Amino acid sequence: MSLPFAEDINFWMTSKASPDSWIEKAKRLIGSFGGKVTGEYFGSDDSGRAAYMVTFVLDGDRYKIAWPVLPTRSKNESAARVQAATLLYHDVKGRCLTAAILGARTAFFNYLLLPDGRTASQASVPELMQGIPTIFLGDGS
């Protein structure tokens, strides 16, 4: 599975806010639903893939969201980072609304951290994770 270009996805160059401000907003949302954020990271690998990651505990379960920075035609990495952080925030926002109705585990299930360090998505649909730098994927052991 290849990732789409950032320019073809919502929130391309729509915000002047920094990526950090979007990540902080996502962390506050998680906290407002009773979650405890345990980590916040940005990383990239030598292939050029980059991602933001937020880890947290909610209702006794551990979660890991790794959100890719999409490739760009224009090579505007700064705008792509803002877009990625914005998309992560909106994903968390939607899932928090779902969690209020259906529960946290249902809402965040694909980000559920399994005992071996992989998420439920990584264990069930590995091709979805191709856009995430390997440093965020865990070693599966």
CA dihedral 38, 127, 103, 63 (to 10 degrees): -10
Q: Which residues contact 31 (CB under 8 A, 6 or more apart)?
A: 37
Query: What is the rounded distance in angstroms from the CA atom of residue 82 to the CA atom of residue 85?
Result: 5
Q: Is residue 41 part of a domain?
A: yes
Would residue 31 count as lying in a domain? yes
Is residue 141 assigned to a domain?
A: no
Give the pairing of strands 36-44 and 61-69.
unpaired
Q: How far apart are the first and last CA of the chain?
A: 24
pLDDT at 32: 96
Helix axes 19-32, 77-102, angle to 10 degrees: 10
- Indicate the pLDDT class of residue 123, thresholds 50, 70 and 90: confident
Q: What does pLDDT average to over the chain?
A: 90
Domain tally, the chain: 1
- The mean per-residue pLDDT over the stretch 88-109 comes to 97
pLDDT band at 1 (very low <50, low <70, confident <90, very high): low
What pLDDT, on the 0 to 100 scale, is given for residue 141?
A: 41
CA distance 74 to 38: 34
Please report the pLDDT score of residue 127 as a whole number: 57
Residues 6 or more apart whose CB falls under 8 angstroms from that of 53 comprise 39, 40, 41, 42, 43, 64, 65, 66, 67, 136
Whether residue 105 lies inside any domain: the answer is: yes
Residue 43 belongs to what domain range? 6-133
Residue 55 belongs to some domain of the structure? yes
Q: Kindly state whether residue 138 falls inside one of the protein's structural domains.
A: no
In a domain, 139, yes or no: no
60 domain-assigned: yes
Say what the pTM is: 0.86
